[in-house]
Amino acid sequence: MYNRRVGCCCYYNGYVLSWNNRQAADMFYYWNGAFISQIRSEVVRGVMDSGCSGCGFYRFKDDGAVYATFDPPPESTPEQIANLQRARENFNLGSVTVDHVPIRFYFNFGVGCNLNCIMCGQTSERPDETSLDADLLWQWLPHFKKSLCLSLIGGEPLVLPQALSFIRKVVSEKELEAVQLDLYTNGAVLDKHMDLLERKNRLSICVSLDGVGPTYERIRKGGNWARVERNLLDFKETSVRKGLRWSLTTANLIMKTSLAGLERLVDWHIAQDITPNFSDFSLAPGIEKTFLEENVFEFPHLLAEVPDWTHQFDASIQKLEGKGWWSVAAILRNMKLDLVHRLFKPFP
């Protein structure tokens, strides 16, 4: 990450290693270092109280939800398949020191952004120009080509100069044709970068929305719903017209304001055939006010301000199930259940 943190997973919240932004370390210095080896040994022993406990990824998912599998995507290269195979063998053996490279590299380039979302945990860090260095990361190209995907986030990767420089390198690199580029973006300036992105066949973008129309603009301050909607539809249309292997999903935080517009948000996704994902938001310095006013999971009394909240959940769940998006519907069902439990918790 831009702030020098090197973790083993973007959800991992335990101790991390430190990145030197002036000199590229050998990737295995991190990947087989004492620290990650210790995490592996904890995973092997089933000790999950390091940085994995209370993992946000699983919080509202049904039992059995998986973060990743060992199945190679279609048309993987022999090198990617061999790496994945070694990863599986190392996993099955419980190896603490491994000879495969990461299946996924995830880079957070910095906190700079073109929006000012009300719940954004990075707000208090801005302005800050600290960034990962694209040239430095590029020294790991021999490892990248064995991986399945390179994931980029910020801040906003489509406005951060080093993230854009890294994207330019990835789209121009023949050796990375089979490696997927994942962008976590607000989609607000996607239109400005379509020519660049069209050069990458394997591309996946996850666009954060949280709401449609006025709800979107109330949460994602500085964003323009008409433009982001047009960008998403253009992205879909381009993918079909050019026969590209592109995928598009959205990320949506459930909080008081977004909950009031949940059914409309779900209707939009179904109408456009774009799969949404849902999660809750966490506290960070600088967003205490939003947390107190918006986090219905921590402060369920806020639901009184969304009188039809059960309808918002029930109608959305029913429509998502009707569409066959069972695991997405399950997240909303588990969220509703959690809220009901919290509301009816007996007094201590």
Ligand X SMILES: C[S@@+](CC[C@H](N)C(=O)[O-])C[C@H]1O[C@@H](n2cnc3c(N)ncnc32)[C@H](O)[C@@H]1O
Residues that bind ligand X (CB under 6 A): 113, 117, 119-122, 153-154, 156, 184-186, 208, 251, 253, 281-282, 284, 287
Measured from the CB of residue 258, what is the shortest distance to ligand X in angstroms? 10
Measured from the CB of residue 133, what is the shortest distance to ligand X in angstroms? 19
Closer residue to ligand X in complex, CB, 156/263: 156
Place of tokens 């270092």: 33
Closer residue to ligand X in complex, CB, 144/216: 216
| Cα distances (Å, whole numbers) of residue 290 to 22, 113, 121, 155, 253 | 37, 19, 10, 19, 13
Q: What's at 251, amino acid-wise?
A: A
Burial (CB count within 10 angstroms: exposed 0-12, middle 13-18, buried 19+), residue 150: buried
Closer residue to ligand X in complex, CB, 83/185: 185
Closer residue to ligand X in complex, CB, 83/108: 108
Q: What's at 257, amino acid-wise?
A: T
Q: What angle do CA 243, 249, 255 make, to 5 degrees?
A: 165
What is the CB neighbour count within 10 angstroms for residue 336? 19
* Residue 125: DSSP 8-state: G
CA dihedral 15, 20, 21, 26 (to 10 degrees): -100
Measured from the CB of residue 298, what is the shortest distance to ligand X in angstroms? 12
Asked if 340 contacts 294 with a C-beta cutoff of 8 angstroms, the reply is: no
Closer residue to ligand X in complex, CB, 201/282: 282
Measured from the CB of residue 145, what is the shortest distance to ligand X in angstroms? 25
Closer residue to ligand X in complex, CB, 88/236: 236
Asked if 254 contacts 296 with a C-beta cutoff of 8 angstroms, the reply is: yes
The two structure tokens encoding residue 324:
């066959």
Residues 6+ away with beta carbon under 8 Å from 22: 136
Measured from the CB of residue 348, what is the shortest distance to ligand X in angstroms? 28
What is the C-alpha separation between 195 and 181, in angstroms, rounded? 15
Measured from the CB of residue 152, what is the shortest distance to ligand X in angstroms? 9
